Structure 1
């Protein structure tokens, strides 16, 4: 039970859940807005709107994946650098590092004698001492450092899934302008996604769903008007 609980926290910490949730939200809002912007133009054709949706899905998906990869990669490299510095300190200055452990334990209310014994036991195992130092002193958990490729993949798949929703009506029909179906699917998905975010974060489901629907609708509405008056 404890291991399962810890693993759930690790999944949130490594960027997978965050990238997936917000990637899907970005994909939905981006493609709804993009396609409605094109649809608002007086000269828009079915093929042009469909092509815009496909291009938005591909370009946006890889843009999100690239940004997520670079972000998580930079964070991972920073963590690894700090961990390596701490590793060298343990090897070169074990006495000072032991004193730091004692001070850390005492600062958390541990009896001085017990703090010294705990520090001595930890220093017998270099890897355990390293993990303790990085967690307590630097606030870094070596086991929860995220995978850049995993975060990038999650972001790409999630964005593509969200962007596909308003695109489906334009792919299954070869004529006309199924804008009403596209808008309806986008609105329903915004409510479901917003509610899911609210449930995941512990916020009110209705409040979160309404907020996301309002934001999505505003973005799509503004883009449609721009396309209508400019196009």
Structure 2
């Protein structure tokens, strides 16, 4: 094998990380911001007790993680159902009209810049090797690995949320007068670290990734603190 072939075989791109990276960052960010905001909103109410604040944080962590898991499970299951239906339809078309499907595959390659004659030969070879696999990849745009497992995706999403939420909940154990400082401080520090790590893993500027998520988190906590203060005064 040539040196170029070895390099190509071992080449890795940042785009390959975007699937799991996006899910992990979104889950953890959601856990940090939503749970911290709820804790701060409750703690800002004048009549809130330490037990009430902590209970709100725990409830937000558990409810949020379960909600993320349920949403991810339903989403991935629905996507898998759609993909299976498309593949079944494509398999039937391959049996019913293989020549038309070959022309369709050749047209796809030609539209991507392949010469018409070469596109036809490639399509014929792909159809002979793995017709359904070729249409799965090139017509439907589906991965060969069959996509994500719904249960695995649900557990991963719940775990990402809980991992982001747990430290703000622990910060809520601070003395009552310190909660409004400990929880936002913990949350903003976590958001900065997470934003920087996500940006670094994705090849984006670290400073920009950290600043934007910190600003959004601060805004969310500021709004909920204001709501908690106003609501507590009214009640």
Q: What TM-score comes out, normalization by structure 2 length?
A: 0.85
* Rounded Cα–Cα distance in structure 1 between residues aligned with 2:207 and 2:162: 25
* Rounded Cα–Cα distance in structure 1 between residues aligned with 2:140 and 2:12: 20
Match of 1:141 among 143, 163, 166: 143
Distance 1:114 1:148, change over 3 A: same
* Offset at residue 6 of structure 1 (A): 6.9
* Rounded Cα–Cα distance in structure 1 between residues aligned with 2:13 and 2:94: 28
- Structure 1 spans left out of the alignment, 5+ residues: none
Q: Which residue of 2 aligns with 1:97?
A: 101
- Structure 2 spans left out of the alignment, 5+ residues: 1-6
* Offset at residue 199 of structure 1 (A): 2.1
Q: Which residue of 2 aligns with 1:120?
A: 124
Q: Does 2:78 correspond to 1:77?
A: no
**RMSD of aligned C-alpha atoms?**
2.3
CA offsets 1:36-95 (integer angstroms, 9 cap, x no match): 111101111111100000000000111111111111211121122111111111122112
* Rounded Cα–Cα distance in structure 2 between residues aligned with 1:196 and 1:57: 23
| Superposed counterparts of 1:11-26, under 5 Å | 12-13=18-19, 16-26=20-30
Aligned length: 225
* Rounded Cα–Cα distance in structure 1 between residues aligned with 2:226 and 2:112: 59
Q: Does 2:42 correspond to 1:41?
A: no
* Rounded Cα–Cα distance in structure 1 between residues aligned with 2:93 and 2:224: 55
CA offsets 1:124-170 (integer angstroms, 9 cap, x no match): 23xx2212112222222232522222221111011111111111133
Q: Does 2:30 correspond to 1:32?
A: no
* Rounded Cα–Cα distance in structure 1 between residues aligned with 2:84 and 2:13: 21
Q: Which residue of 1 aligns with 2:63?
A: 59
* Rounded Cα–Cα distance in structure 1 between residues aligned with 2:164 and 2:146: 27
* Offset at residue 8 of structure 1 (A): 7.7
Q: Which residue of 2 aligns with 1:182?
A: 183
Distance 1:5 1:87, change over 3 A: farther
**Is this contact kept in 1: 2:18–2:202, CA < 8 A?**
no
For residue 124 of structure 1, give the secondary structure of its aligned residue in structure 2: helix
Match of 2:131 among 129, 132, 150: 129
